[in-house]
């Protein structure tokens, strides 16, 4: 790979090159246009099957908040929280403040962190496909344990299995999608992971809305249905090929070329195949920032959050259903814009919109809510509208791109390890958030939204200054992007430097 070569002017380019959109950051256009093939029925099929992996993550985010707000569930496993909720003795912000309840919720993400660390070497040595299947089986086991549990240790044990499933799925699926997709459509197809996540969140909210009325065992049905996407993920994985990149890394060159020809729909894959064979801080910060937007305050604890704001009973579940629907629709927007507008514009615009919405919520709650008061109907509408706009901004920006960007920035040699770092950081911050948010809400009250707005401002500044654009860049050419970035090039050796060192 010639990292030092930069495309010439439009006047010097060949007709084929001139008609091709110019990738960012000095990537060799002549090499890029040699990548043949497009969206074939096969690549659509494998991406759809693999994207189901996103649904197991989303289903738990959507289902957990609803289940933990249901009275029969609390009465069975957390009677102390149930008592505080009924007596309303802790005020609006603190009625769910319980480290035991938080530990139940966050245990999944701690297990997911361990699972993602184990998934890195497993995905590298056994391939992406094997990790997808294993993740689906673990998650289905956890769903079965959760739905049948009668004691707290059993249901926590089930969440540990769910966590391992998510750890393996979140590590392997975005990697699989980014390696299977053609370069010019990689962003949109990779967003399928987040789209599946958001559809699952919305579905879980709808399920909770219905099962809350089925007493006393409706919560068991909510937990049991988690097995459905997990079984689809494991069964679908049996019919998936491994990615050409993974096969090359394990020395199976002939099989890799055969798969590449099949997914591209053409035997003219020499240029792309050569780059696969030749073949950061961002990987840690992107998933950390994704959680620090505060999105889990809405998605993860939505029913409890809305109840804390004064919405009662089914109204809180209904509000969370609305936010789930907004998230799905906004993620669809990202599918159709990420490869047209690029990653940076979406992240920056989404960050600004989220900051504005969080400040509005904080101001309304600070002025009109607290000390046992309830929001008026008019201000309740303002809060729900601001939260929906916040969720929409996340849905078309940091939600999908928090997974897409890290999955496409690594060279082949470190891609599996890099994705493990991304998933591990995401789950570590999700664990910390799940364990601390209810106490944070109790302590900071409306200030919690200003806390997250500050983080969104910091991460938006990070994108402006330090995140290079990856739109249209072949995944095998990402090293060139870093070498041409004003800041990151200081930490990379150029090819000429390496060659001089070798000659010496």
Task: Tell the burial category of 293 from Cβ atoms under 10 Å away from its Cβ (0-12, 13-18, 19+).
Answer: buried
Does residue 353 carry a pLDDT above 90? Answer: yes
**Pairwise CA distance, residues 467 & 488, whole Å:** 9
Does residue 493 carry a pLDDT above 90? Answer: no
Secondary structure (3-state) at 398: helix
DSSP result, 138-198: HHHHHHHHHHH--SHHHHHHHHHHHHHHHHHHHHHHHHHHHHHS-GGGHHHHHTHHHHHHH
Res 434: pLDDT: 78
**Pairwise CA distance, residues 426 & 292, whole Å:** 10
Res 137: pLDDT: 93
Length in residues, the chain: 504
Residue 366 CB partners (closer than 8 Å, separation 6+): 445, 446, 447
User: What is the band of 371 on the pLDDT scale with cuts at 50, 70, 90?
Assistant: low
Express each pLDDT in 397-455 by its tens digit: 998 888 888 877 776 556 666 677 788 888 888 888 878 887 887 888 888 889 999 99
Strongest mean pLDDT among 14-18, 168-172, 187-191, 366-370: 168-172
**Pairwise CA distance, residues 457 & 448, whole Å:** 15
Q: What is the mean pLDDT of residues 32-60?
A: 69
User: What is the band of 305 on the pLDDT scale with cuts at 50, 70, 90?
Assistant: low
Task: Tell the burial category of 77 from Cβ atoms under 10 Å away from its Cβ (0-12, 13-18, 19+).
Answer: buried
Res 314: pLDDT: 66
**Pairwise CA distance, residues 60 & 47, whole Å:** 22
Percent of the chain with pLDDT over 90: 18
CA separation (Å) from 253 to 21, 26, 249, 267, 359? 30, 29, 9, 15, 54
Res 313: pLDDT: 60
**Pairwise CA distance, residues 400 & 477, whole Å:** 22
Q: Name the packing angle between helices 415-444 and 281-292 (round to 10°).
A: 30
210: how many CB neighbours lie within 10 A of its CB? Answer: 12
User: What is the band of 346 on the pLDDT scale with cuts at 50, 70, 90?
Assistant: very high
Res 275: pLDDT: 44
User: What is the band of 355 on the pLDDT scale with cuts at 50, 70, 90?
Assistant: very high
User: 211: part of which helix (H) or strand (E)?
Assistant: helix 192-211
Give me the CATH code for the 38-503 domain, please. Answer: 1.20.1250.20
């Amino acid at each position: 790979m010639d990292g030092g070569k930069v495309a010439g002017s439009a006047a010097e380019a060949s007709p084929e090159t001139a008609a091709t959109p110019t990738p960012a950051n000095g990537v060799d256009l002549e090499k890029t246009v040699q990548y043949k093939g497009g969206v074939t029925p096969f690549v659509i099929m494998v991406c759809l099957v693999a994207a189901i992996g996103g649904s197991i993550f989303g289903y738990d985010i959507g289902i957990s908040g609803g289940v933990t707000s249901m009275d029969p569930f609390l009465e069975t496993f957390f009677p102390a929280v149930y008592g505080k909720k009924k007596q309303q003795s802790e005020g609006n912000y603190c009625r769910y403040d319980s480290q035991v309840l938080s530990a139940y919720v966050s245990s999944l993400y701690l297990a997911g962190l361990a699972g993602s660390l184990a998934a890195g070497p497993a995905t590298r040595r056994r391939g992406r496909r094997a990790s997808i299947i294993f993740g689906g089986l673990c998650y289905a086991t956890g769903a079965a344990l959760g739905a049948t549990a009668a004691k707290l240790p059993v249901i926590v044990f089930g969440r540990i299995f769910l966590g391992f499933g998510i750890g393996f799925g979140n590590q392997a699926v975005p990697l699989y999608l980014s390696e299977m997709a053609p370069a010019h459509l990689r962003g949109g197809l990779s967003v399928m992971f987040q789209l599946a996540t958001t559809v699952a969140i919305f579905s879980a909210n709808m399920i909770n809305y219905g099962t809350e009325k089925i007493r006393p065992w409706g919560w068991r049905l909510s937990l049991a249905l988690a097995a459905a996407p997990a079984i689809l993920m494991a069964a679908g994985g049996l019919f998936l090929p491994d990615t050409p990149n993974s096969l090359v890394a394990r020395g199976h060159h002939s099989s890799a070329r055969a798969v590449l020809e099949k997914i591209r729909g053409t035997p003219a894959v020499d240029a792309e195949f050569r780059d696969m064979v030749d073949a950061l801080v961002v990987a840690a910060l992107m998933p950390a920032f994704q959680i620090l937007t505060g999105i889990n305050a809405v998605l993860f604890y939505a029913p409890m959050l809305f109840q804390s704001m004064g919405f009662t009973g089914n109204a809180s579940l209904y509000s969370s259903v609305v936010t789930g629907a907004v998230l799905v629709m906004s993620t669809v927007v990202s599918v159709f814009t990420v490869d047209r507008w690029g990653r940076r514009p979406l992240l920056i615009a989404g960050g600004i919109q989220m900051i504005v919405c969080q400040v509005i919520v904080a101001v309304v709650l600070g002025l009109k809510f607290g000390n046992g008061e309830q929001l008026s109907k008019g201000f309740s509408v303002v809060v729900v509208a601001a939260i929906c706009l916040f969720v929409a901004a996340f849905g078309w920006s940091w939600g999908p791109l928090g997974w897409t960007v890290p999955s496409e920035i690594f060279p082949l040699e470190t891609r599996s390890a890099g994705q493990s770092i991304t998933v591990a950081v995401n789950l570590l911050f999700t664990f910390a958030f799940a364990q601390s948010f209810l106490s944070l809400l109790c302590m900071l009250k409306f200030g919690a939204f200003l806390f997250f707005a500050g983080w969104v401002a910091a991460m938006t500044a990070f994108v402006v200054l330090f995140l290079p654009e990856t739109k249209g860049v072949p995944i095998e050419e990402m090293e060139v992007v870093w070498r041409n970035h004003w800041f990151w090039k200081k930490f990379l050796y150029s090819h000429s430097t390496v060659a001089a060192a070798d000659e010496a």
